[in-house]
Structure formats: C-alpha cells, structure tokens
Amino acid sequence: MNIVLAGAGEIGLNLAKSLAHQNHNISIIDNDRDHLDIIASNEDVLTVHGDASSIEVLKNANINKADIFLAITSMEQTNLLSAIIAKRLGAKRTFARVSNPEFLSEGQQVNFTGLGVDKIFSPRILAVKEIGRLLQRVAFSDVFEFEGGKIYSVGFKVDKTSVINNKSLIEIAQRVCDFPLRVLTVLRDDETIIPSGNFILNEGDHIYLSVLSKDLKKVNRLVGKKLKKIKKIMIVGGTALALSTAKKMEQYYKVTLIINSQAKARSAIDDLDSTLVIVGDPSEIELLKGEGIEGMDAFIALTSKSETNIISSLLAEELGVFKTIALVDNTAYIRLSQHIGIDTFINKKDIAADYIYQFVRQGKVQAISSMHGTEAEIIEYEVQENNKMTKAPIKNLDISNQFIIAGVIRAGEANIPDGNFQIITGDKIIIMVHKKQIPFVEGLFS
C-alpha cells in the first residue's frame, strides 16, 4: 500500500516507523529538513521537504499513486487544505487531523467529505473519550470496547486478594467463573505471554481478557480491588487536553482543576461552567492536600511534562485516591504503569495511531487497539467470503500459535466462542495478535 504522511511530528513519526516495518511504501512530508534527514537515515521511507499544502510538494511525494493520504501536522488549516488538494490530485482516501471540536460533528463530517476529506479526527478528543471510558470502568487499567460495547477487552493487575491469584486458566474457567471469558495475554516482568490453559496467574501479573457486555460487572470481582463510585475528580494541567477533559467531565462529576499559570487559569474560568479552578504547582503535596486531594475519587494528571504527571499521580496514590490516570509522551514510560502503582498511563499519539490503523491495515478492519505495555494488539475484522476461517470449527483451525479469538459478532449478537464454534461469512471476529504475527493476520483477512 502506498501511504503519504504530511507531518513528521510524534504521531507522524510513530506511524511512519510502524507502517514501514509492515512493508507499506511510505512517503513523509515536512518543513523541517534536518528532521527529515534523521528519519531517512533510520527508516526505509521517502522524505519530501516542503509545505504539504503545496501542489508541487504533493506531486513530489507521488500523491497520484497514494492509497492513503494522512495530514497530521500540528496546523489544522494545512491538514484540511492538503487533504482537499491530495484528493483532487488522485489520492484514494484522505484523512486530516483537526483541533476544533466543532468540526467533528456529524454534519460537519459530511461537509468535509464533500470537499474531499474522507475522515477528520482530533487526537485530543480521542484522548478525552478514553479518559471518560476509564472513569466509567474504574476497576480496570485499560478498557477497549467493540461493536458499540457488545464485547469488551479489559486489563487489570492481579491483586493478592483476587480470586484468580495463584489459579491456572483452566481452574478459572471451571471453578471461579460462571460466565464466558477469554484470557488474551499476560504481561509479566515486561514479557508479553500468550498463556496456555495450565498457565498460573501470580500477584502483580497484568492480565487482559475479553468478556461480553452483560458480564462486565462480574469481572469486577476478579480484580480484588474494592470498587468505588467516582463522584469527585481532580485534574492537573493547563494543557488543551486538561481543559477539554475538565469541560467534558464537569457534566458528570464534581471537578477541581489545578493550573500552574494565572493567565491560563483566568481563561479556564471563562470557558468552564462548574469546575473549581485553582492556581498552583501540582507537584507540591501541601497544595494538593489543601485542595482536598484526600477526598477525591480520581486524579488525572495532564500537564505537558510526563515526569510531573507521574510524580503527582504517585502522590495521589499515596494519599489514597482510588483511580489515577497520567498522561505521558514517552512510550517507554507505559510499561512502568504495571509496576509503580499508577492505575493507567495514556499516550495521545498511541491513541491517535490506533484510530488511524483501522483505516490503514489490510483486510476489512472494523476497529483496532494496542494493548498498553505489551507487544499485542486487538483487531476486529469482518470475515469475507471464502476465508479459510470458515472451513472448520475453531478447534480444527491451525491458528493456536498465530492469534487468539477474543469474540465474534454474528447478526448483531456477541459471542465468546469455544472450540466447537464455526466462523461464517459476515461474522465480525475480534482477535488478539502479537505484533510479529500481524503480516500473517493481514494476509488471512485481506
């Protein structure tokens, strides 16, 4: 597949690396020549220097042969204009990153489609939605929903009080659970393990499993951590993400926002309705105590500095806050969340990449999510006619070392299939796959 990316920032670079390693032909456009030289010396991609909204620059990137054009610079106007021009020059599908939430309404999307922009998205709004899901499902470190929430994949750390601690997967299925679930992968000491039935879970393991929507509450009792309803949350940071999160969450919770800037605080007060805005340094424990952190149900650290977010979240954990979420911009920090106590780390570029991947991956992909801290992904495919997955029951398919079937949607009904289940054309199949097996999976479903 020929893919042209406009913008070599964090999201663009992350996508370029990943897609190039999956044997796509990648061209990347950026104004920063030095940055492009570094990319060219490390990755097998074509680099084009210049303004992505320039017709000549787009032609130099072979836009007429592009299957996909991704405009993901930090400039909204450049993204929209370049996507419109790219479509006129022959790009088959175009995507543009925007910052204005008004553009994301259904009516506006139709307007942009008419202009030649097939899809618009905002990494910030995607991150706000992710935070909202995590606050709704407080027992879990990760929550992925498929088919509008008919099947969930959730992640959590095995606590010493958990009923699944020191149990094998066979024991869990036979003695512990009275509902269907599928253990997908386990992260243990930075190793991603695809477990067999005899695998025994230990305290500290980070486990991912799939479950039907109707049984999600039953999974809570496996966690071992006593649940608490979220009513009061504290957000720290003056970033656009922090303000957007406060704006959204004040509709459902009592929100306190701490900003380390008098000017940004005044602007936030004008924009927010019921949120209490405080000026101060979120890394100062006495300030947090003085503003009632010990009475908060959730703490969300969204400053521009990962280290500040990590430290303040650890302070919140130490002071007894039930749910902590920290924004990090360094993916190396993601694995730390399994070890240092913070419930969940989120990364905007990873969230945006997951959103984009579903349109880039080969086969009829419905959804895709990276399983944070692991080397695995969850992908939802629609099964096409003559796919070899339809030839026999699951137990007779030679897929055990390739991927795990997390769930199947058939005629709108969700299933956690056993070995006797047989896939048919038109099923939507949710699979967990190790990243090194993605080329095999793409070949199977393309």
Res. 343: pLDDT tops 90 = no
Tell me, rounded to whole angstroms, the distance of Cα 22 from its chain centroid.
19
| Contact yes or no for 22/45 (Cβ under 8 A) | no
Asked whether the whole model's pTM tops 0.95, one would answer no
What are the tokens at 120?
A: 């618009």
Position 400 scores a pLDDT of: 65
Give per-residue burial for 241-255: e unless 16+ CB within 10 Å, then b: bbbbbbbbbbeebbb
Residue 18, number of CB atoms within 10 A of its CB: 18
- Summarize pLDDT for 96-110 with one digit per residue, the tens: 999 888 888 777 777
Mean pLDDT of 190-210: 86
- Summarize pLDDT for 276-299 with one digit per residue, the tens: 999 998 888 898 899 999 999 999
Res. 238: pLDDT tops 60 = yes
Least confident range of 15-19, 235-239, 263-267? 15-19
pLDDT cut 70: percent of the chain above it: 92
Position 204 scores a pLDDT of: 83
- C-alpha neighbours within 13 Å on the C-beta side of residue 251: 5
| Contact yes or no for 406/429 (Cβ under 8 A) | no
Residue 265 and residue 8: Cα distance in Å, rounded? 32
Residue 426, number of CB atoms within 10 A of its CB: 13
On average, the pLDDT of the chain sits at 87
DSSP strand pairing (365-370 vs 413-415): unpaired
Residue 365, number of CB atoms within 10 A of its CB: 18
- Summarize pLDDT for 66-116 with one digit per residue, the tens: 999 999 998 999 999 999 999 999 999 999 999 888 888 777 777 888 899
- Helix (H/G/I), strand (E/B), else coil: 217: helix
φ and ψ at residue 148, rounded to 5 degrees: 65, 25
Given phi > 0 = left and psi -120 to 50 = alpha, else beta, which region is 205? beta
Position 303 scores a pLDDT of: 95
Position 446 scores a pLDDT of: 73
Position 107 scores a pLDDT of: 73
Tell me, rounded to whole angstroms, the distance of Cα 32 from its chain centroid.
28
Position 79 scores a pLDDT of: 96
Position 134 scores a pLDDT of: 87
pLDDT cut 90: percent of the chain above it: 43
Least confident range of 250-259, 270-279, 369-378, 394-403? 369-378
Residue 126 and residue 120: Cα distance in Å, rounded? 12
Query: What does each C-alpha distance from 294 to 82, 233, 389 come to in angstroms?
Result: 49, 11, 53
- CA nearest neighbour of 345 among 377, 301, 303, 282: 301
In the chain, the domains with their CATH numbers are 2-121 (3.40.50.720), 144-223 (3.30.70.1450), 232-321 (3.40.50.720), 351-445 (3.30.70.1450)
**365 pLDDT tier (thresholds 50, 70, 90):** low
- CA nearest neighbour of 275 among 261, 263, 265: 265
Position 293 scores a pLDDT of: 93
| Contact yes or no for 43/18 (Cβ under 8 A) | no
Position 243 scores a pLDDT of: 96
Q: For residue 200, give the DSSP letter.
A: B
| Contact yes or no for 23/439 (Cβ under 8 A) | yes
| Contact yes or no for 415/423 (Cβ under 8 A) | no
Res. 399: pLDDT tops 80 = no
Rg value, the chain, Cα? 23
Rounded to the nearest 10°, the torsion over CA 107, 108, 110, 114 is 140
Least confident range of 88-97, 153-162, 327-336, 377-386? 327-336
- CA nearest neighbour of 300 among 292, 290, 312: 312
Res. 362: pLDDT tops 60 = no
Strand segments, DSSP code E, in 334-386 are 344-346, 365-370, 376-382
Position 91 scores a pLDDT of: 96
